[in-house]
Amino acid sequence: MILLIGITLLAVVLGCILPLRSGVIGYLGGAILLFVAQAGVNTAMGFEGVPISESLLLFNESYLAYVGFNLQITYRAFAVPLLALSVPLIFRMSKATP
């Protein structure tokens, strides 16, 4: 829960400072950056707070399965940070349009 709140706050800040001239490419870059950061933290924390060495036992010592599982968890939890990135950016773009 703390991770989700932290990534959401980072998304709001990123939505407020992202240059408007970068447009869609900047938005996609920001979304990818947030997704990779959240997936990396999920992967580094281990499964349910257990160390990674013990987490790999649940996935038959397969790093690929472990990383894939964490990517799936991140994908499911990414709606809130994506919305938090979009709202300030769209608001700023609507104010900049004449």
pLDDT of residue 22: 86
**pTM for the predicted model, two decimal places:** 0.85
Please state whether 47 falls in left (phi above 0), alpha (psi between -120 and 50) or beta: beta
Low-confidence ranges of the chain (pLDDT < 70): 98
**Can you give the pLDDT at residue 12?**
94
C-alpha 46/C-alpha 86 separation (Å) is 29
3-state secondary structure of 21: helix
Helices (H), the chain: 2-17, 23-45, 52-58, 63-76, 79-96
Q: How many angstroms separate the CA atoms of 94 and 98, rounded?
A: 9
What's the CA gap between 35 and 38, in Å, rounded?
5
Residue 32 has a pLDDT of 94
